[in-house]
Amino acid sequence: MAVKSEDSKNKGKITLDRNILVSIIDLATKEINGVESIYNKNRPFIKRMFNRYDDGVQVRFEKNGALTIDVYIKIYVGFNVPDIAFRVQENIRNSLATMVALKPMKINVHIVDVECDKEVSDA
């Protein structure tokens, strides 16, 4: 699904591919300290096998034009879960606003796993 925007001054169109949005969301999420990876182990195997690009990120445009984002992340042990979720939401919101001038209505962060093999110090 592509996002279309019309510029009233120049009478032009801007079209964004869904993969661009997923890429921005992926980068914004991984910038947060404490996030190990984006991962959705609850997705069906066949979808994970054929579409690895957006594994862990879902972008939906509602009927009223609102943008809803679901991000499934794996975090490191020892980090504050509500703090990480809030920082992920804010970073995604800021990245989308500055890079493509979109303001999502909802950003849902789902913590699906905790990486317990190594503990990372909060830097």
What are the pLDDT digits (tens) for 78-118?
A: 899 999 999 999 999 999 999 998 899 999 999 988 888 76
Give φ, ψ of 51 to 5 degrees: -135, 75
pLDDT (0 to 100) of residue 82: 93
Whether the CB-CB separation of 108 and 68 falls below 8 Å is answered with yes
**Is the backbone of residue 101 left (phi > 0), alpha (psi -120 to 50) or beta?**
left
Does the pTM of the predicted model rise above 0.85? no
Whether the CB-CB separation of 92 and 77 falls below 8 Å is answered with no
Sequence-separated (6 or more) residues with CB below 8 Å from residue 60: 67, 68, 69, 70
Domains of the chain and any CATH numbers? 21-115 (3.30.70.1350)
What are the pLDDT digits (tens) for 9-66?
A: 667 777 888 888 988 999 999 999 999 888 766 655 666 556 555 578 888 888 887 8
